[in-house]
Structure 1
Amino acid sequence: MDAGSASFIVLLILIAFLASGTTIFISILCVCVVSLAIFLDFDLHRIGVTMSRIMIRASSSWELSAIPLFLWMGEIVYKSSLIDQLFRGLIPFLRHLPGGLLHTNVVGSAMFAAVSGSSAATTATIGKIMLGELDKRGYDKRLAVGSLAGAGTLGLLIPPSIIMIIYGLLAEVSIIKLFAAGIFPGLLIALLYSAYISVCSAVDKNLAPIAEADGATLLSGIWDLGPIFALIVLVLGTIYSGYATPSESAAIGVAGALFLITIRGELSFSLIKESLYGAVSTACMICTLLAAAGFLSTTMGFLHIPQDVATFIGSLDLSPLGLIFVLSLFYMLLGLLLDGISITVMTLPITLPLILAAGIDPLWFGIFLVIMVELGQMTPPVGFNLFIIHGMSGIDILTIAKSAFPFFLLMCLAAILITFLPNIALWLPSELYS
């Protein structure tokens, strides 16, 4: 059997396992075992030895410790009153803009993303507080849920980002440089979202009522924003200054979050238990996927699938821009079916050799990949942000998807901008670490 047929059959086996409802982790392992047994005649002993060695090596990286620590920091903030204080602080700064408090979805998501690293956590946290408040104050529901669906994805792009850590480990790209590269693209997307909200609200005055004065002043807003801002500076400052690695900075962030809730009198056994449970359950899912991804990458290498795919695409004689366009369609299609972490760990063994062969900067591609994954968070049937908003609001998925579509297009615009203006992503890391 030729290599092309083997590649196609492996893909069919994977689709069959996923369609059956099998978890991603088990699906990947089963595909690897079946492929090695069928195409390379590996016996069970050899498969077991290969799998154990690769998965142990893939799960032993020190950098992996940043994942549960950043998740725990975000859970601590989420379970405490810090998040309510964040929104009280934003109100006096945003209520006078066209669109008023709708901007809290965007700015709040951007700020919480800087302490969570998770799109799902960002969407759930912001939505938990803001959807009810915006509805109660008479804001347009479609614009509220659409902006939340879009802004919630900033948890993947604005550092510290869990998916950037995963990409950095798999692609052997500096995680610190990835964090720096994500800042300006994340701010660009947030700016596009806020500009869209402002334009829509200026055109149709009924979308956003005039915000009522509630006694909050800019000074009180600064005071309320202080704790979260201090935590962001603590985490990102220690990373970019070179005083701490991402893993060490994550530990510093956890200590900072615990200190904040302690001086506020909120530290309790219940809060620690609940925040640890949320962080550990998510971290275990991510780390098992990374271990399986290491086995999948090796299996694909044994079968020469990355080389075959690279040879095929190379035969198309695509320019780097043409390759990016093809990969954009590829990732958008996968975003309809899989979550972002699964997309990253399953496709990188194939796509990374392609972009390296085309001379594309892997640091830039990491940011581009994150944006592609963000798009998948807003597209049914497996758009997790849509499911989270549906669970909180009761609005049907199709309506939420329609409301999020303008923000989907704005993110596509951001992807186009960083493609033609790559320095949006690359300038800051080059300045900091040249």
Structure 2
Amino acid sequence: MTWVGFSVFAIVTLFALLASGVWIAIALMTTGMTGLYLEGGTRTFLALGSISWNSINSFTLSPVPMFIVMGAVILRCGVAERFYAALATWMRVLPGGLLQSNIVACSVFAAASGSSVATAGTIGTVTIPELKRRGYDPGMIFGSLAAGGTLGILIPPSIVMIIYASLVDVSVAKLFMAGVVPGILLALVFMGYIAVRCTARRELAPVEETTERPSLRSLLDVLPLVSLILAVMGSIYLGWATATEAAAIGVLASLVIAALYGGLSWANLKQAHMEAVRTTCMVLVIVVAAQIFSHCLVYSGVSRSLTEYVISLQLPTFVLFLAIVALYILLGCLIDGASMMLLTLPVLFPIVVGAGFDLVWFGVVVVILIEIGMITPPIGLNLFVLHGMSGGTPYAAVARGALPYVVLMFAFLMLLWLVPDLALWLPAHVGGR
């Protein structure tokens, strides 16, 4: 079978399985093993044990369960509600009022939880009823929460970044640092859009008359979450700790915060660790399946032949970049972010390396593309989460509210192409290991 024929077989088989509702891990593994059998019979299965072991026996992946525990503990100790209430007193003076609080709260909470869905869901639970009661436009409410929630996988610590680092063998610390400036800038872009839109149409965000003023008490409610982020990321940026060691520091700090807020109970600890086990097992199974699929592509010669073919076309690097963006946006409408990355990287990695793209910069690009997928219908996880807690708002209205932010993120990708130092400057100038 030629590499083109094998590629068609693999794509058709994979998407047929996905369309039938099979889990992404099973679809990847079935396609990979079927392809290996067709190429070399059952003897090709002898390598699967080593591939599986080498895939998960990775020190790079060890922070994943600890960051999940850290985020889960924070979710349950009551810090989110008090943090948002305190933040609102400082942010309501800006154009857009409490909509601006959504973006800032999501940005900060994203750095504590590392999960977009958890960020959107947690802040949404606190804010949606209150903003509806105050008369804010539903599209602006859900759009700001959906977009703000996506920052959970760009502003470190990020579980998706850890998985990417393990797949392409780059430093997790450098990848974390590369996400900081783009994450902050993207949050500012979102806030700027809200300010302009709400200034042009004041009915979208009613001006609130309130005697409540920022106070030392409200500042104290903001400090615990900010301190957690500084403890985790500061130890990495200063070169004092690896990502794994920083994750352990984060777990300890989250337990201290939970104790201070009265949320350090056995039930909360048990639930946090159960979530860590479930999520980590899911991630590792998908990683193993993706590696088997990748081995199939290498063994059959597809990876080498496709790379040689793409390079022989001598496409301008910008055209290749646009093609990758189009691929991820298309897949993002159908597949969740982590699975999309694990599905595409085995094919794209040699092409990206051959084109001379910086792998740290490309990691930030991939994360932003995954963010776009999370708020792009029909399979936008953040949209589904927010629709579930919307109290009857149509899914189409939630999706329409998020659409302007999709455009903003696409424009930001173009800026990142023109100015790659937005992602690369900090890793080049700040310590980390």
- TM-score over 0.5 (shorter chain): yes
The residue that corresponds to 2:125 in the other structure is 128
Report the 3-state secondary structure (helix = DSSP H, G, I; strand = E; otherwise coil) of the residue aligned with 2:70.
Answer: helix
The residue that corresponds to 1:355 in the other structure is 352
> How far did residue 396 of structure 1 move?
2.3
The residue that corresponds to 2:36 in the other structure is 36
Q: Deviations over 1:82-123 (max 9, x none)?
A: 111210221121000000001111101100111111111111
Backbone CA RMSD of aligned residues: 1.3
> How far did residue 22 of structure 1 move?
0.6
The residue that corresponds to 2:234 in the other structure is 237
Distance 2:2 2:372 in 1: 35
Q: Deviations over 1:340-380 (max 9, x none)?
A: 11111111111111111111111110001111111100111
Distance 1:196 1:266 in 2: 36
1:401 counterpart = 2:399: yes
1:326 counterpart = 2:317: no
Question: What does residue range 59-98 of structure 1 map to in structure 2 within 5 Å?
Answer: 59-98=56-95
Q: In 2, are the aligned partners of 1:188 and 1:414 still within 8 Å (CA)?
A: no
Q: In 1, are the aligned partners of 2:76 and 2:263 still within 8 Å (CA)?
A: no
Counterpart pick for 2:308 among 292, 305, 311: 311
Q: Deviations over 1:5-28 (max 9, x none)?
A: 111111111011111111011111
Question: What does residue range 92-111 of structure 1 map to in structure 2 within 5 Å?
Answer: 92-111=89-108
The one-letter code sitting in structure 1 at the alignment partner of 2:422 is I
Distance 1:270 1:252 in 2: 22
Q: In 2, are the aligned partners of 1:70 and 1:117 still within 8 Å (CA)?
A: yes
How many pairs does the alignment contain? 431
The residue that corresponds to 2:145 in the other structure is 148
Distance 2:172 2:92 in 1: 36
The residue that corresponds to 2:253 in the other structure is 256
The residue that corresponds to 1:194 in the other structure is 191
> How far did residue 239 of structure 1 move?
1.1
Q: In 2, are the aligned partners of 1:377 and 1:386 still within 8 Å (CA)?
A: yes
Counterpart pick for 1:301 among 289, 298, 303: 298
Distance 1:353 1:234 in 2: 36
1:432 counterpart = 2:430: yes
Distance 1:433 1:294 in 2: 31
Gaps of 5+ in 1: none
Distance 2:431 2:31 in 1: 40
Distance 1:224 1:149 in 2: 24
Distance 1:218 1:326 in 2: 50
1:25 counterpart = 2:22: no
Further displaced range: 248-257 or 205-214? 205-214
TM-score (norm 1): 0.97
Distance 1:71 1:216 in 2: 35
The one-letter code sitting in structure 1 at the alignment partner of 2:289 is A
Q: In 1, are the aligned partners of 2:154 and 2:368 still within 8 Å (CA)?
A: yes
Distance 1:277 1:5 in 2: 44
The residue that corresponds to 1:411 in the other structure is 409
Q: In 2, are the aligned partners of 1:106 and 1:147 still within 8 Å (CA)?
A: yes
The one-letter code sitting in structure 1 at the alignment partner of 2:90 is F
Distance 2:62 2:349 in 1: 24
Q: In 1, are the aligned partners of 2:32 and 2:294 still within 8 Å (CA)?
A: no
The residue that corresponds to 1:117 in the other structure is 114
Distance 2:396 2:262 in 1: 43
Report the 3-state secondary structure (helix = DSSP H, G, I; strand = E; otherwise coil) of the residue aligned with 1:206.
Answer: helix
The one-letter code sitting in structure 2 at the alignment partner of 1:301 is V
Report the 3-state secondary structure (helix = DSSP H, G, I; strand = E; otherwise coil) of the residue aligned with 1:29.
Answer: helix
> How far did residue 41 of structure 1 move?
2.7
Gaps of 5+ in 2: none
> How far did residue 42 of structure 1 move?
2.1
Distance 1:164 1:85 in 2: 29
The one-letter code sitting in structure 2 at the alignment partner of 1:361 is D
Distance 1:146 1:404 in 2: 4
1:178 counterpart = 2:175: yes
Q: Deviations over 1:175-231 (max 9, x none)?
A: 100100001111111111101111111111111112332534242332110100110
Distance 2:253 2:168 in 1: 30
Distance 1:27 1:216 in 2: 55
Distance 1:290 1:402 in 2: 33
Q: In 1, are the aligned partners of 2:116 and 2:152 still within 8 Å (CA)?
A: yes
Report the 3-state secondary structure (helix = DSSP H, G, I; strand = E; otherwise coil) of the residue aligned with 2:262.
Answer: coil
Q: In 2, are the aligned partners of 1:87 and 1:108 still within 8 Å (CA)?
A: yes
The residue that corresponds to 2:264 in the other structure is 267
Q: In 2, are the aligned partners of 1:117 and 1:156 still within 8 Å (CA)?
A: yes
Distance 2:331 2:164 in 1: 17
Q: In 2, are the aligned partners of 1:97 and 1:198 still within 8 Å (CA)?
A: yes
Question: What does residue range 333-348 of structure 1 map to in structure 2 within 5 Å?
Answer: 333-348=330-345
> How far did residue 52 of structure 1 move?
1.7
